[in-house]
Structure 1
Amino acid sequence: MGRHVFLRIVDALSNFDPYFQQKVDALERKGPITFTKFTAAICMLAYGIGTDAVDDYVCIGTSTAIECLKKFVTNIILIFESEYLRKPNSNDVQRLIKMGKARGFPGMMGSIDYMYLQWKNCPKA
């Protein structure tokens, strides 16, 4: 994920839900920052790792990691549903078919991964 995409999502989440903003508890201790909560949720989703591995990586508790994931998924749907989580319109379909054709896959609207293809510039990876 590019830095600008990461920062855009973090900004959108922290502006939408106060849960993703850093708070101070009753003992004047600062809680987890937005990046920590966001990173915990992304790691669990992207790598399919459990809360124990997230705890080792970003030093966040199990219950907090689970809560972060639930709120992250719910808020991402609420914030970005109308822009990204919608059915493609005719312009989107034409653009995706054109991209597929340029990549050597005529008629394909998109692809999840290309990991099993042998690339000209990277024949062994």
Structure 2
Amino acid sequence: MRKELFYHILNDVVNHELYFHQKKDWLGRQGLSPEQKLTIVFRMLAWGCSADVTNEYCRLGESTALESLHKFCCVVEAMYGQWYLKSPNPADLSCYVRKS
């Protein structure tokens, strides 16, 4: 993926969902960056790796990786759904019809 596209998607996601903002914890330490969360989401979607593998790559726990994936999918549907996600047409539906 081109760097420009990654950052375009990242900016859209961060502006739409507060979950992806970088926050500080009670001790004042920086939390996970939006880049870390989005990188893991793309890694899970593109390569099909499981959530528990993400700890080795970006230092995200399994629950955080799954939550990031869920939130990202909700954001994509909300932001890009009407332009990029089309309704199925009869040809699409015909592959799912059971033949008796």
* 1:39 Cα deviation from its structure 2 partner: 0.6
SS in 1 for 2:32: coil
* 1:55 Cα deviation from its structure 2 partner: 1.1
Question: What's the counterpart of residue 30 of structure 2?
Answer: 30
- The structure with the largest alpha-carbon Rg is 1
Question: Cα deviation per residue 1:19-41 (whole Å; 9 max; x = unaligned)?
Answer: 00100111111110000000111
Question: What's the counterpart of residue 77 of structure 2?
Answer: 77
Letter in 2 for 1:71: K
What is the TM-score when the length of structure 2 is the normalising length?
0.81
* 1:52 Cα deviation from its structure 2 partner: 2.1
Question: Unpaired runs of 5+ in structure 2?
Answer: 88-100
Measure, in 2, the Cα distance between the counterparts of 1:86 and 1:27: 46
**Identity across the alignment (%):** 34
Higher RCO (Cα < 8 Å, 6 or more apart): 2
Moved over 6 A (4+): none
Question: What's the counterpart of residue 61 of structure 1?
Answer: 61
For residues 1-125 of structure 1, the aligned pairs below 5 Å read 1-86=1-86
RMSD: 1.1
Letter in 1 for 2:52: D
Letter in 2 for 1:13: V
SS in 2 for 1:41: helix
Question: Unpaired runs of 5+ in structure 1?
Answer: 88-125
Measure, in 2, the Cα distance between the counterparts of 1:56 and 1:69: 17
Question: What's the counterpart of residue 109 of structure 1?
Answer: none
Aligned length: 87
